[in-house]
């Protein structure tokens, strides 16, 4: 088993961080930069920063802000939100992003994944898939979970892999923000359908949920937000719990950081 990553997710809206439940009822949880600085000290493996309104405004990604955040981010940074072309990707990478996360645009233009992977490498191209359970199956949604795409999750996961995505971030919209646990059946199906790493997202409320996502569902990484915003649980504690369960983690953890 490859070493498993613990990845805090930062949802960015109008210059501040927000968190909601089921991709709705957003509440502010603070500014972006202090959170980035804190996570630098918390032994996280990566950070995911997503602008959740960029797809609505039609504006280019806020490269200037990403540049400001990037100067203080000393772990790999994945940036998403509003990306529609290679020029934007190039500017984000120059501003400090290590990877880009694409969702809404690739339903309109699936070739964008191939273009990113060809130009910058598959390791740079993260396909974000937001999913709702419908009629006994899972359907992909775009525009921050608002618009049904008509795509079934397993078909879409295989397609983005074939088109060059280096990994998939799969989020259960219903579980998002509930802290009731990941949708293990969803994660297991996607992880079994593709050969690239799958990042579990949506629902983590304790370390046991993360262990289950890896050992029971086959996730290669666990992403979370609410557990780190609203509880005393930490990325270092998550790594300790994963290691105690026999899961290899990417870096040594410092128990002092779990305080």
* Per-residue pLDDT at 144: 83
Residue 259: band (very low, low, confident or very high) from pLDDT cuts 50, 70, 90: very low
Query: How far is CA 216 from its chain centroid?
Result: 20
Which run of H or of E encompasses 35? helix 32-40
* Minimum mean pLDDT range among 41-45, 83-87, 151-155: 41-45
Report the CATH superfamily, name and number, of domain 5-253.
Answer: Aldolase class I (3.20.20.70)
pTM for the complete prediction? 0.91
Structural tokens at position 135: 């009629």
Q: Between residues 123 and 25, which one has the greater pLDDT?
A: 123
Residue 25: band (very low, low, confident or very high) from pLDDT cuts 50, 70, 90: low
Cβ contact 165:125 at 8 Å: yes
* Per-residue pLDDT at 258: 43
* Per-residue pLDDT at 65: 86
What digits encode the pLDDT tens for the residues 238-252? 999 999 999 999 765
* Per-residue pLDDT at 256: 46
Cβ neighbours, 10 Å, residue 206 = 17
**Residue 224 pLDDT more than 90?**
yes
Structural tokens at position 52: 């959740």
Mean predicted lDDT score pLDDT of the chain: 89
**Residue 84 pLDDT more than 90?**
yes
Q: Residue 206, SS3? A: coil
**Residue 78 pLDDT more than 50?**
yes
- All structural domains of the chain with their residue ranges: 5-253
């Amino acid at each position: 088993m490859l070493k498993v990553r613990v990845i805090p997710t930062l949802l960015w809206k109008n210059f501040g961080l927000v968190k909601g439940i089921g991709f709705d009822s957003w509440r502010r949880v603070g500014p972006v930069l202090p959170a980035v600085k804190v996570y630098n000290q918390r032994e996280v493996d990566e950070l995911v920063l997503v602008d959740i309104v960029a797809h609505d405004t039609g504006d280019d990604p806020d490269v200037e802000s990403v540049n400001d955040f990037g100067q203080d981010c000393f772990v790999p940074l994945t940036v998403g939100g509003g990306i529609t072309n290679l020029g934007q990707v190039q500017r984000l990478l120059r501003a400090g992003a290590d990877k880009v996360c694409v969702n809404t645009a690739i339903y309109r233009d699936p070739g964008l994944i191939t273009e990113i992977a060809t130009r910058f490498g598959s390791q740079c191209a993260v396909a974000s898939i937001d999913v709702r359970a419908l009629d006994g199956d899972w359907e992909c949604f775009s525009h921050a979970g608002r618009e049904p795409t008509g795509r079934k999750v397993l078909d879409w996961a295989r397609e983005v892999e074939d088109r060059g995505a280096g990994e998939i971030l799969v989020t259960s919209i219903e579980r998002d923000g509930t802290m009731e646990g990941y949708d293990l059946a969803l994660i297991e199906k996607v992880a079994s359908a593709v050969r690239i790493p799958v990042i579990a997202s949506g629902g983590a409320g304790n370390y046991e949920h993360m262990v289950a996502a890896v050992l029971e569902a086959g996730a290669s990484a666990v992403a979370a937000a609410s557990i780190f915003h609203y509880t005393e649980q930490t990325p270092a504690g998550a790594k300790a719990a994963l290691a105690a369960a026999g899961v290899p983690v990417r870096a040594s953890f410092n128990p002092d950081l779990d305080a």
